[in-house]
Amino acid sequence: MSLLRLAWRNVLRQRRRTALLSLVVVYVTVAVLFMFGFLDGYGESLVEAYAQYVEAPVVVAREAWWEDPDPENGFPSLPPLAHPLVQAATPRLSLYALFRSPYRMQGGVVLGVDPEGEKALSRVPSKVGEGRWLQGPGEVVLGYRLAERLDVRVGERLVVETGKEALGLQVVGLVRAGVGNVDFGGVYVHLEDARRLAGGGVGATHLALRVPRGREEGVAKALNQVLPEGFRAKGVWELMGPIRADYEGSRLFYVPLLGLFMLLAAVAVVSTTYVSVRERLREFAVAESLGLSPARLAGQVALEAALASGLGLLAGLLLGYALLGYTSTHDVFGPLMRLSVELLPEAGLSEHLYTSIRPVYALYASLLVGLSALLALLFPGRLVLRLDPSRYVKGE
């Protein structure tokens, strides 16, 4: 305890140097907290978009359909499902088609849905900004940006053509989901219309399941143990496609970068401590001649580095969590995300992104304090261990 008190007194005695060290640690701590909060928030935004708008928390389909999403690889009847965490299930039929308005045409994917079943599983029905959601066959709901491209409005007709069938459908609603795939490419028709467009013989291409948040991969894995041969369940992370690789690549890039950032900050702390120790060698020599062992003096140096960086850590945690608290409740990144959605409309990005707040970020940032103390023990501490007290006491 006396060594800690002595180290604390030295930290306070050199206030300007302590403030400089603490500022470096504050900067790095805030950067570490914000970057982890941003990355986790980005990941949660993707999961939210794909689970609630683009795909579903869990999707079950035939292996053949996963490899080739042709409606002919769908299933005529629904497979049996038995899992206590499945809260809702609804069939879907997706197929490629050509959309033709009186003025323009464009290709895309039609999603045939059960209107009532979709309400229990997806948020798309609740995001109809103009008109209404599907009620029966003969109707179509579009993403509002796709409707602008096709130059079609609520009440007008849209022709949907596949290689086997064509239907003239009335536009009854436009969706404003704030998710690129839905707003720029969403086309929702009644399941019966989708079956006609597919040429008949196909009941659905896949089955969408709602499960509790965070249990998607576990439920998919459990279902794969009981599903009939030739069927496979995928959790939302598997459904993301290329954007998942982009997200995981970002983590692989930024986490080592933050580690290097923390190492450089620790080196900055230790280099300043090293200069301080060199200036105080006579002081250490006197302390050693009075009975303090070299090992305890080296420990004091490490404690001083840890205390100085600990003060910075404390201030950095306060600032960092305050920043995360603000950005987790305010749509600060909205303009950036809306630009990203415009540039990558098929990536499944949401127009809103909020940072995450997790206590474990403090643990990551506190590694900087331990690293500073360790380096201080290895380098400035060695000066004290190799100190010749008689030389400095005599003033040589």
Tens digit of pLDDT for each residue in 234-263? Answer: 999 999 888 888 888 888 888 888 888 788
Angle 354-358-363 from CA coordinates, rounded to 5°: 135
Distance CA 133, CA 142 (A): 10
> What is the pairing mode between strands 139-143 and 166-175?
parallel
Q: What is the pLDDT of residues 160-193, one digit of tens each?
A: 999 888 999 999 999 999 999 999 999 999 999 9
Secondary structure element (H or E) that encloses residue 107, with its range:
strand 105-113
pTM, entire model = 0.82
Distance CA 140, CA 166 (A): 13
Residue of higher predicted confidence among 395 and 65: 65
Secondary structure element (H or E) that encloses residue 173, with its range:
strand 166-175
Q: For residue 176, with 0-12 CB atoms within 10 Å meaning exposed, 13-18 middle and 19 or more buried, which class applies?
A: middle
> What is the pLDDT averaged over residues 52-78?
90
Distance CA 74, CA 141 (A): 23
Q: Which residues contact 43 (CB under 8 A, 6 or more apart)?
A: 247
Angle 206-211-216 from CA coordinates, rounded to 5°: 80
Does pLDDT of 276 surpass 80? no
> What is the pLDDT averaged over residues 366-389?
74
Does pLDDT of 389 surpass 70? no
Exposed e or buried b per residue across 62-92, where buried means at least 16 C-beta atoms within 10 angstroms of its C-beta: bebbeeebebebbbeeebebebebbebbbbb
Q: How confident is the model at residue 58 (pLDDT cuts 50, 70, 90)?
A: very high
Q: Which residues contact 122 (CB under 8 A, 6 or more apart)?
A: 52, 53, 56, 208
Distance CA 191, CA 193 (A): 5
Q: How confident is the model at residue 148 (pLDDT cuts 50, 70, 90)?
A: very high
Nearest C-alpha neighbor of 271 from the set 379, 382, 383:
379
228 alpha-carbon distance from chain centroid: 33
208 alpha-carbon distance from chain centroid: 23
Distance CA 71, CA 82 (A): 25
Distance CA 25, CA 262 (A): 8
Nearest C-alpha neighbor of 129 from the set 170, 186, 89:
186
Distance CA 192, CA 137 (A): 6
Does pLDDT of 281 surpass 80? no
**Which residue shows structure tokens 């039929």?**
93
Give the pLDDT score at 41: 93
Q: What is the pLDDT of residues 309-350, one digit of tens each?
A: 888 889 999 999 999 999 999 989 988 898 888 888 888 888
The mean pLDDT of the chain is: 87
Q: What is the widest separation between alpha-carbon atoms in the chain? A: 102
Distance CA 343, CA 81 (A): 39
Give the pLDDT score at 267: 81
> What is the pLDDT averaged over residues 49-70?
93
Q: How confident is the model at residue 396 (pLDDT cuts 50, 70, 90)?
A: low
Among 131-145, 219-233, 272-286, name the most confident range: 131-145
Does pLDDT of 207 surpass 70? yes
* DSSP codes of every residue in 186-244: -EEEEHHHHHHHTTSS-SBSEEEEE--TT-HHHHHHHHHHHSPTTEEEEEHHHHSTHHH
Give the pLDDT score at 227: 87
Does pLDDT of 303 surpass 90? no
